[in-house]
């Protein structure tokens, strides 16, 4: 617990510092985290990230990441930085590798890497894109703090009062009571952010976004838990003491930013 809290506080403070600075510093940090996250994703399936198929997936992930910068005017709009081109070209290349390798590269590996490239690429890309928006730092702060509050509230409430299992076949430690506690704390933090930053809109709207985050965040965590169960690993990595790997820490945030941007709530 002590190690988890220390890592969380130091890591969170450092991440918020990069968020406040913004620009290339924040984009660069996100790029590093995305790369490590992709490496962890490959490692879970025992696919070397430096293999031919792993490298193609990594390039696809980076193209998606950079496309977000181009769409926000942070990079010049050039042909490779277009979402349809990225996805279709990456898919064709990965499928072609099955034939070229004479089935050494299996279709399951290709599907896994393709999914991982999209999941990690779009998730981290939307984190950058949100920061580049008008009032982007505040919107990012809302998504980050509410997600962290949800995670912390669920953890401590679950430890203290959790009895009924939420989804034992996927994540045996999550409880209904913990989830409700995380949701309540999410709404409290959303209300505080809404009152401190009226430029985000009405308090009701901010609370509504906070409620969505409190639902989507745990779903992102459950999705990552399901992937880990199918690949037979406990943690995606060991970079963050007490938390595991990058994907263990950012699984909720990836889905939160992806959903909020997709349905254009921020």
Closest CA to 27 of 55, 69, 70: 69
Q: Put residue 201 in one of left, alpha, beta given phi > 0 → left and psi -120 to 50 → alpha.
A: left
Q: How far is CA 167 from CA 66, 223, 236, 253, in A?
A: 36, 11, 20, 20
Confidence of residue 76 (pLDDT cuts 50, 70, 90): confident
Percentage of residues of the chain with pLDDT beyond 90: 61
**Average pLDDT, stretch 192-220?**
94
| Distance from C-alpha of 154 to C-alpha of 150, rounded to nearest angstrom | 6
Evaluate if residue 1 carries a pLDDT over 70. no
How far is it, in rounded angstroms, from Cα 199 to Cα 22?
A: 19
pLDDT at 79 over 60: no
28: left (phi over 0), alpha (psi -120 to 50) or beta: alpha
Does the structure show a pLDDT above 80 at 172? no
Q: Torsion angle of alpha carbons 14, 16, 18, 23, nearest 10°?
A: 170
* The predicted structure's pLDDT at residue 242: 64
Interval 33-55: pLDDT, tens? 999 999 999 999 999 999 999 99
**pLDDT tens sequence across 114-151:** 999 999 999 999 999 999 998 999 999 999 999 999 99
What is the rounded CA–CA span in Å between residue 266 and residue 262?
A: 9
Nearest 10 degrees: CA dihedral of 240, 241, 244, 248? -50
Residues 241-260, mean pLDDT to the nearest whole number:
88
Give exposure, 121-156, as e/b (b: 16+ Cβ within 10 Å): bbbbbbbbbbbbeeebbbbbbbbbbbbbbbbbbbbb
Q: How far apart are CA 15 and CA 1, in angstroms?
A: 21
Residue 111 scores a pLDDT above 70: yes
């Amino acid at each position: 617990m002590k190690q988890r809290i220390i890592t969380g506080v130091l890591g969170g403070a450092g991440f918020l510092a990069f968020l406040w600075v913004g620009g290339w510093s924040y984009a660069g940090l996100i790029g590093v985290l995305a790369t490590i996250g992709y490496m962890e994703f490959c490692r879970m399936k025992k696919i070397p990230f430096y293999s031919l198929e792993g490298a193609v997936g990594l390039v696809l992930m980076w193209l998606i990441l950079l496309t977000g910068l181009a769409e926000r005017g942070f990079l010049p709009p050039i042909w490779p930085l277009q979402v349809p081109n990225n996805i279709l070209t990456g898919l064709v290349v990965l499928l072609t590798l099955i034939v070229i390798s004479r089935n050494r590269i299996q279709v399951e590996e290709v599907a896994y890497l393709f999914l991982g490239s999209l999941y990690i690429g779009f998730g981290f890309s939307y984190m950058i894109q949100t920061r580049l928006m008008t009032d982007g730092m505040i919107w990012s702060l809302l998504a980050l703090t509410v997600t962290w509050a949800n995670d912390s509230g669920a953890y401590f409430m679950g430890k203290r009062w959790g009895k009924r299992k939420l989804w034992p076949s996927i994540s045996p430690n999550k409880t209904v009571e913990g989830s409700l506690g995380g949701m309540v704390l999410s709404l409290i933090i959303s209300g505080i952010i809404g009152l401190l930053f009226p430029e985000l809109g009405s308090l009701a709207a901010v609370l509504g976004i906070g409620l969505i985050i409190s639902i989507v965040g745990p779903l992102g965590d459950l999705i990552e838990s399901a992937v880990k169960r199918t690949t037979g690993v406990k943690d995606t990595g060991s970079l963050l003491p007490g938390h595991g790997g990058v994907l263990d820490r950012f699984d909720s945030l990836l889905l939160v930013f992806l959903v909020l941007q997709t349905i254009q709530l921020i």
